[in-house]
Amino acid sequence: MSLRTFITAGAAAVGLLMGTAAVADATTTATYDFGYESGFEGWVAQTDETTGTQDCPVRHNSTIVHSTDKARTGTHSLDFQTNGVSDCGLVYVQRQFQVGTTSPVQLDLSFWLWSPDTTGGGTGGKNRALAYSGADCVTDPEGPVGGNWQGFTDLGYTGHEGGPGWYQYSYRATVTPDSSGRICVAQAVMIASTYTIFKSYYLDDTTVTVS
């Protein structure tokens, strides 16, 4: 992980690190880059089955591992190993950031996902990329509700006309931190297609900007 900060004119800023996140005042823009070369880099791997109650009718046993199988840059990425046995499931990584204020902040998230899918209803073609942000991390994801998981934002299908490859997804939100000045961000793949094999989606080059 690397951290870049930009201080607006006339603003005072605190230039120190606390844990894995930067502490900065409300007028400082902090950008965090994650290439996953050294592991999960503070992101916590979870699924709807590993936290809270089970929502899908059949266990899918999906998981996320640190991988050298594919990488957009460098040699590593995070491998979302999904199973669509019941066309249901949520596979995600989430991370807290200390933003140094309890006032609302603007969050910009972008990430690259390697997908094996094409467009249409074929195997995996209806799976979707999702994002989440809030004061608290997700402890019991509920879904699927109306074709999504509660609290997450749908960023689009994992299938593209260009076929298998790396595709970028972007997300922007205004987030009110908790009383300690922290926010939580998540990147997810929603299983919405039926397939009884494990399919890998690779996550790389995540950028989080808080301003």
Peptide bond into 104 cis (omega under 30): no
Per-10-residue mean pLDDT for the chain, 211 residues long?
Answer: 63 36 55 98 96 90 97 98 93 97 97 91 78 97 88 95 95 98 98 90 98 96
SS3 14: coil
Tokens of 165: 């490859």
Structure confidence at residue 10 (pLDDT): 34
C-alpha to C-alpha distance for 168 and 121, rounded to whole angstroms: 21
Superfamily of domain 36-210 in CATH is Galactose-binding domain-like (2.60.120.260)
Read off the pTM: 0.88
Tokens of 177: 């931190």
C-alpha to C-alpha distance for 167 and 35, rounded to whole angstroms: 15
Structure confidence at residue 203 (pLDDT): 98
Structure confidence at residue 196 (pLDDT): 83
Write down the domain spans for the chain: 36-210
Structure confidence at residue 6 (pLDDT): 65
Structure confidence at residue 19 (pLDDT): 37
- How does DSSP assign 151-208, residue by residue? T-EEEEES-BTT-SEEEEEEEEEEE---TTSEEEEEEEEEE-S-EEEEEEEEEEEEEE
